[in-house]
Amino acid sequence: MADLREMGRRASKEKQLLQRMPAEEKNRALCLAAERLEDRSEEILCANDRDMEKARQNGMSQGLQDRLKLTRERIGAMAEGLCQIAELPDCIGEIMEAFERPNGLKIEKVRVPMGVIGIIYEARPNVTADAFGLCFKTGNAVILKGGSDALESNKAVVKVIRDALQECGISGDVIQLIEDTDRKVTVEFMKLKEYVDLLIPRGSAGLIQSVIENSTIPVIETGTGNCHVYVDKDADLDMAVEIIYNAKTQRIGVCNACESLVIHRDVRDSLLPRLKKSLDVRRVELRGDERVREILTDIAAATEEDYGREYLDYILSLKTVDTAEEAIDHINRYNTKHSECIVTKNVETAEKFLNEVDAACVYWNASTRFTDGFEFGFGAEIGISTQKLHARGPMGLKELTSYKYLVRGTGQVRT
Amino acid sequence: MADLREMGRRASKEKQLLQRMPAEEKNRALCLAAERLEDRSEEILCANDRDMEKARQNGMSQGLQDRLKLTRERIGAMAEGLCQIAELPDCIGEIMEAFERPNGLKIEKVRVPMGVIGIIYEARPNVTADAFGLCFKTGNAVILKGGSDALESNKAVVKVIRDALQECGISGDVIQLIEDTDRKVTVEFMKLKEYVDLLIPRGSAGLIQSVIENSTIPVIETGTGNCHVYVDKDADLDMAVEIIYNAKTQRIGVCNACESLVIHRDVRDSLLPRLKKSLDVRRVELRGDERVREILTDIAAATEEDYGREYLDYILSLKTVDTAEEAIDHINRYNTKHSECIVTKNVETAEKFLNEVDAACVYWNASTRFTDGFEFGFGAEIGISTQKLHARGPMGLKELTSYKYLVRGTGQVRT
Report pLDDT for B204: 86
- Residue B269 carries which DSSP code? H
Confidence band for B205, pLDDT divided at 50, 70 and 90 = confident
φ, ψ for residue B402 (rounded to 5)? -125, -160
* End-to-end Cα distance, chain A: 47
- Encode pLDDT of A26-81 as tens digits: 999 999 999 999 999 999 999 999 999 999 999 999 888 999 999 999 999 999 99
Contact A389 B393 (CB under 8 A): no
Question: pLDDT digits over A157-200, tens only?
Answer: 999 999 999 999 999 999 999 999 999 999 999 999 999 999 99
According to the model, what pLDDT value does residue A224 have?
A: 86
**What band does B42 get if pLDDT is binned at 50, 70 and 90?**
very high
Angle between helix B237-249 and helix B265-280 axes, rounded to 10 deg: 50
Arithmetic mean of pLDDT over chain B: 96
State ipTM.
0.95
Chain B residues touching A245 at Cβ < 8 A = 413
Arithmetic mean of pLDDT, A338-343: 98
Q: Got the DSSP string for A153-181?
A: HHHHHHHHHHHHHHHTT--GGGEEE----
Q: Is the pLDDT of residue B246 over 80?
A: yes
- A224-274 pLDDT per residue, tens: 899 999 999 999 999 999 999 999 999 988 899 999 999 999 999 999 999
Burial class (CB in 10 A: 0-12, 13-18, 19+), B63: exposed
Least confident range of A129-138, A218-227, B399-408: A218-227
Q: Please report the pLDDT score of residue B94 as a whole number.
A: 97
Work out the number of other CB atoms within 10 angstroms of the CB of residue A74: 16
* Residue A371 neighbours by CB distance under 10 Å: 27
Q: Looking at the partner chain, which of A242, A369, A406 has a beta carbon nearest the beta carbon of B354?
A: A406
Distance of residue B243 Cα from the nearest chain A Cα, in angstroms: 6
What confidence tier does A205 reach under pLDDT thresholds 50, 70, 90? confident
Identify the band that residue A113 occupies on the pLDDT scale cut at 50, 70 and 90.
Answer: very high
Q: What is the pLDDT of residue B346?
A: 98
* Closest chain B C-alpha to A281 CA, distance in angstroms: 17
The predicted structure's pLDDT at residue B380: 87
Instruction: Tell me how far CA of residue A90 lies from CA of A26, A129, A324, A397, B394, in angstroms.
Output: 9, 19, 43, 9, 26
Q: How far apart are the CA of A359 and the nearest CA of chain B, in angstroms?
A: 7
Residue A2 has pLDDT above 90, yes or no: no
**Cβ B369–A413 below 8 Å, yes or no?**
yes
CB contact under 8 A, A376 and B405: yes
Residues 302-321 (A) with a CB less than 8 A from some CB of B: none
Mean pLDDT of chain A: 96
pLDDT class of B23 with cuts at 50, 70, 90: very high
- Going by C-alpha positions, the residue among A192, A188, A121, A198 that lies closest to residue A153 is A121
pLDDT of B358 > 90? The answer is: yes
- Residues A358, B101: C-beta atoms closer than 8 Å: no
Backbone angles phi, psi at B373, to 5 degrees: -60, -35
Question: Which pLDDT band holds residue B132 (cuts at 50, 70, 90)?
Answer: very high
User: Alpha-carbon torsion A378, A381, A383, A389, what sign?
Assistant: negative
For residue A171, which phi and psi values (nearest 5 degrees)?
-65, 135
Say if residues B365 and B382 touch (Cβ distance below 8 Å).
Answer: no
Q: Which residues contact B24 (CB under 8 A, 6 or more apart)?
A: none
Alpha-carbon distance A90 to nearest alpha carbon in chain B (angstroms) = 17
**What tens digit of pLDDT does each residue of A352-394 get?**
999 999 999 999 999 999 999 999 999 989 999 999 999 999 9
Question: Is A43 or B223 the better-scoring residue by pLDDT?
Answer: A43
A392 touches chain B (CB under 8 A): yes
Contact B409 A354 (CB under 8 A): no
Q: Which pLDDT does position B259 carry in this prediction?
A: 97
Q: Which of residues 23-42 of A touch B (CB under 8 A)?
A: none
Q: What is the pLDDT of residue B203?
A: 86
Bridge partners for A222 per DSSP: A385
CA R_g for chain B: 24
Confidence at A16, pLDDT banded by 50, 70, 90: confident
CB nearest to A367's CB, from B245, B393, B413: B413
Please give the average per-residue pLDDT across B163-170, as a whole number.
98
Strand partners, B393: B385
| Whether the Cβ atoms of residue A409 and residue B365 lie closer than 8 Å to each other | yes
